[in-house]
Amino acid sequence: MPNSARRATVEAAATSAAAEPSGPQIAAAAATFALLSSPPRLHLVWLITHGAYDVGTLADRAGISIATASQHLAKLRLAGVVTAHREGRRHLYTVDDPHIVKLVEEIFDHIAPDGTLAPDPPH
């Protein structure tokens, strides 16, 4: 089989397996990755994927000021990454979207504690 025919077969199989994302999907995904590219925001999201916390606890755990945590949480809420609900006098932040939880879990499964790429598990 000539290379061009083989390439066309491979491309057709890849296209049929998963539809190519639309322009709006690519833009939204890029915006989400950009939002999570801030280390403090990513740390806050990681924390929130493991439990519901108030801003003071999140700030303390992330090692940032309450004002800074509040600003990051506001951006994350506007983007729909985290949600907040009132419990008494406190707002508790949660991640309700299982896709966000999976995304955060996957990236930290892929990166070793020393910051290098973790090896793939054996099959």
Answer whether 0.85 is exceeded by the pTM.
no
Domain boundaries 20-110, corresponding CATH code: 1.10.10.10
pLDDT of 119 reads: 80
pLDDT at 61 over 60: yes
pLDDT tens by residue, 6-42: 666 556 655 556 899 999 999 999 999 999 999 999 9
Rounded to the nearest integer, the mean pLDDT of the chain is 90
What's the rounded Cα separation, in Å, for the pair 32 and 34?
5
| Angle 79-29-101 from CA coordinates, rounded to 5° | 65
Average pLDDT estimate for 80-92 = 95
Percent of the chain topping pLDDT 90? 78
Least confident of 48-57, 83-92, 111-120: 111-120
Which is higher by pLDDT, 3 or 110? 110
pLDDT of residue 121: 74
Task: List the domain boundaries for the chain.
Answer: 20-110
CA distance 118 to 103: 16
SS (H, E, C) 40-63: HHHHHHHHHHCCCECHHHHHHHHC
Instruction: Output the pLDDT for position 122.
Output: 76
Give helix then strand counts, H and E, for the chain.
6, 2
